[in-house]
Structure 1
Amino acid sequence: MEEIVRELEGREPCGALFDLLAGVRVADLTEDQKVTVYILARKIEAVAGAIQLEVLNAVEDLTELGMAASEPERALGRRKEFSEVVETLPRLFDQLRRGEIDARRLEVVHERIRHLPESAMASRVEESLVEVASGLNRNQLARRVTKLVAEVDPEGYGRRCQRAKAERRVEFKPLPDGMAQLKAVLGAVEARMAYGLLNQDVAELPSDERTTDQKRADAFLDRFLATTAERQVQVNVTIPIETLIGLTEDPGLLDGYGPIPAEMARELAMQGPWRGILLDEYRHAAAISTKRYRPTAPMREMVKAHGGGVCTAPGCCNPIRELDHVIPWPKGKTTATQLKGLCSWHHRRKHDNYAVTLDESGAAHWTTPHGREYTTRPHQY
């Protein structure tokens, strides 16, 4: 095997370089060699990312691609938008292809130039970045690009800042170990003011064992939850009866998040009404049937419980928006297992040219237009 030396760091990515990395035993490397291997691995990763972007830029059917990669189609759609850089930022894309910059830095440039009204403006920004991008970290590059965009299109930049306020939102993202992230996208001025206010709250707190980050999080909750004491917020928790009565410590399932500790689930279960769910031999939510075409409200709840609350198309993690008869009604009965919860997009795609069948365990078998087959199974509690 070729020796790991610093001179390799200047080599362009190639198959031989990949083979060299594939045979490396990190435990046998010196500290300096570990740095070299890390740099080379980043180059190979950049090349692989560039190839994916080229493919995405040339592919039209993201449903087929999402199922093949077990990747949410919405995420692929965002990456396809990013793949515009193949054509709009060709010189920076070539740097990605050579491993000189990574995809995250190229994405920082793309998201700031994508709304420029003229391609010539984007080219001017790119021209100013080609010589310096590889030496800047992501935050430094973001500030540089924002400044350049404001300079090449000052009036348009002002208008876009005003329009961007329509994109303000709050997002919820599950994290491991009973935690979650609540992210607010706000106007820069308002966000900076809110952050400064939280820092003032932290400064007024007494010294204790909490870190500054912990105090800031607590200050946020104090400000936010203090105004909601009189409101009723519905939170759905699924908990096995054995856990509820303390015989086991199996986790509960918090809707929109996932598993939570048994003690936390029991505490939440004691605070609201209950609804029983009967499980079959596969530990899937059992069916509630009706002869009516339009499913009843309890049945809609059961279908969502059956799928764990998310779209049952392969690779999709969007919330259920619509119910679909796998076997078209009236031949297909309106039951919780024969109904599948889908997001609006995959409901439409199913009725285009994607075939779906069910087996006796409730698993859905999807066949794509290219003849690929994928299986999704009901949520197991």
Structure 2
Amino acid sequence: MQVGILRGMELTRELEKAEPSGALLDLLAGLDLDALSADERVTVTILARKIKAFADYVELTVLRSVEDTAELAMAITEPEQTVARRKELTEDLRTLPRLMDQLRQGRLDLRRLEAVRDRVRNLPSVALITEVEDTLVEAAPGLTHSQLGRRTTALVAQADPTGYEQRHQKAKAERRVEIRPLPDGMAQLTAVLPAVEARMVHDLLCADAKDLPTDERTTDQKRADAFLDRFLGQAKERDVRVHVTISMETLMGLTEDPALLEGYGPISADTARELAMDGIWRAILLDEHDHADTIGKHTYRPGQRLKELVGVRAGNICSAPGCTRPIQEGDHVTPWPKGHTTLPNLKGLCTRHHHLKHDTHKATVDNDGTLHWTTPLNRSYTTTPHKY
């Protein structure tokens, strides 16, 4: 969109497609922010984030040529170590020129760009980084920070499986527990653990919290109390399973493609094969789009198998746009009996989005499982089944 056109335009959704510019900033500066409608607030937020992304691009590009970091640190009232680390970031981003350009265009924010940089920075060659960027460049603007991080992790593991496993073992050696004082007589206890064990601990606490009596406590409070009960030896014994999806080729050692740990994302092939040695296996057949299509029979009744397949097809993540919560409830997109109990019409949602879908949001589904959401402001968003 041309800058000249922006000058004569009112605040409309069409502006959300515009690249950052002085005219766009002038437009926002002249608005009465308290008088905006609900839909205009969404538009203004999008435009403000575009301008912020462009400002980050300018700062990083300029910082790349700064030699005296002490001078700059004094000018912007930041520790010199912070400025130096920021300068290191600019060097890493040289290897991601197209994603960097999306930052300039306001299509990608710095936080998501850093998520990619943190995962590709240890790849052994620029060629491999470019290979990952090739796959991400179209999808990145439409992914959340968490989704982009998971997608990049999987691509890095595919591009350099041996190095990925080596980095995992190095990171595993740095596992630790830390405590940080907080105000008001509280403290934060943090454990850095391998993903599989961390997932097991979390699921164990969730199961413990679910068994606690109904009272005024929130779920977070119950999990915290369950943690203390279990750590202090007051919790009951419980079996916990983690769900890992691995290709047959990787299971047989023919490839080193990463596996998918439910609720976390990609894990190394070696870790997945180690888990599979003592695990219960279930066959999953994929369609031509690499979406889960059929799940093998085991000991569950058909209704349970279909419910499990619904979760697998979504990567066990809520099917609402941008949501990264685990599936908590099942839903017929087209309500039963008009909508049938079939794989495309069944979706797994978190409790929050399940309520929204029935109260204020609308959803329709295509035969291939693509889900179309419409918000109260008549904005449309699309989600697709997880691609394995």
Relative to structure 1, the CA distance from residue 17 to residue 52 in structure 2 (aligned partners, 3 Å threshold; closer, same or farther) is same
Q: Which residue of 2 aligns with 1:262?
A: none
Helix, strand or coil for the counterpart of 1:183?
Answer: strand
Equivalence for 1:18: 25
The aligned counterpart of 2:150 is 143
- Equivalent of 2:215 in 208, 212, 216: 208
CA contact (8 A) 1:53 1:86 kept: no
SS in 2 for 1:207: coil
Superposition TM-score, scaled by structure 2 size: 0.54
Q: CA separation in 2, counterparts of 1:195 and 1:83?
A: 36
The answer to whether structure 1 residue 158 and structure 2 residue 153 are counterparts is no
| 2:93–2:117 Cα contact (<8 Å) kept | no
Q: Tell me how far apart the structure 2 counterparts of residues 79 and 139 of structure 1 sit (CA, whole Å).
A: 22
1:64-143 equivalence runs, <5 A: 64-143=71-150
Give the secondary-structure state (helix, strand or coil) at the position aligned to 1:24: coil
Structure 2 residue identity aligned to 1:124 = E
SS in 1 for 2:64: helix
Letter aligned with residue 214 of structure 1 = Q
Determine the C-alpha separation between the residues in 1 that align with 2:127 and 2:213.
55
Question: Which sections of structure 2, spanning at least 5 residues, go unmatched?
Answer: 1-6, 235-388
Aligned to 1:3: 10
Contact 2:112 2:145 (8 Å CA) reproduced:
yes
One-letter code aligned to 2:29: A
Q: 1:62 to 1:193 in 2, by over 3 A?
A: farther
Read off the aligned partner of 1:80 and give its amino acid letter. K
Relative to 1, partners in 2 of residues 1:21 and 1:78: Cα closer, same or farther, differing over 3 Å?
A: same
- Three-state SS of the structure 2 residue aligned to 1:59 is coil
Q: Secondary structure at the match of 2:216?
A: coil
Asked which structure has the greater RCO (Cα within 8 Å, sep 6+), the reply is 1
Determine the C-alpha separation between the residues in 1 that align with 2:66 and 2:179.
Answer: 30
Q: CA RMSD in A?
A: 2.4
Identity of aligned residues (%): 61
Task: Name the stretch that deviates more: 52-61 or 212-221.
Answer: 52-61
**Corresponding letter in the other structure for 1:19:** D
In structure 2, distance between residues paired with 1:133 and 1:57: 24
Identify the residue that residue 188 of structure 1 maps to in structure 2. Answer: 195
Instruction: Specify whether residues 142 and 178 from structure 1 end up closer, same or farther in structure 2 by C-alpha distance, changes over 3 A only.
Output: same
Please tell me whether the aligned partners of residues 57 and 86 of structure 1 are also in contact (alpha carbons under 8 angstroms).
no
- Structure 1 position 142, deviation (Å): 1.2
Superposition deviation, residue 26 in structure 1: 1.4
- The separation in 1 between residues aligned to 2:160 and 2:199, in whole angstroms, is 25
Q: Which moved more, 1:132-141 or 1:82-91?
A: 82-91
Separation in 1 of the partners of 2:91 and 2:203?
37
Q: Do the aligned residues in 1 keep the contact of 2:175 with 2:192 (CA within 8 Å)?
A: yes
Once the two structures are superposed, what CA deviation does each residue of 1:202-232 show, in whole Å capped at 9, x if it has no partner? 23322221111101112223444679xxxxx
Residues 162 and 140 (structure 1), Cα distance of their counterparts in 2 relative to 1, 3 Å cut: same
Between the aligned partners of 1:75 and 1:191, the Cα distance in structure 2 is 30
Return the match for 1:38 from 36, 45, 48: 45
Q: Which amino acid aligns with 2:195?
A: A
- Distance 1:55-1:176 versus aligned 2 partners, 3 A rule: farther
The corresponding residue for 1:290 is none
The alpha-carbon deviation at position 55 of structure 1 amounts to 3.0
Q: Which amino acid aligns with 1:34?
A: R
Shift of 1:179: 4.4
Q: Distance in 1 between matches of 2:127 and 2:67?
A: 27
Shift, 1:72, TM fit:
3.7
Residue 289 of structure 2 corresponds to which residue in structure 1? none
Residue 301 of structure 1 aligns with which residue?
A: none
The verdict on how the C-alpha distance between 1:73 and 1:185 changes in structure 2, with shifts beyond 3 A counting, is farther
**Deviation of residue 180 (structure 1)?**
4.3
Letter in 2 for 1:207: T
Q: 1:15 to 1:171 in 2, by over 3 A?
A: farther
CA distance in 1, matches of 2:84, 2:211: 45
Partner residue of 1:54?
Answer: 61
How far, CA to CA, are the matches of 1:33 and 1:94 in structure 2? Answer: 27
1:283-302 → structure 2 map (5 Å cutoff): none
Report the CA distance between 1:52 and its aligned residue.
Answer: 2.0
Letter in 2 for 1:219: A
CA distance in 1, matches of 2:154, 2:28: 39
Number of aligned residue pairs: give it: 227
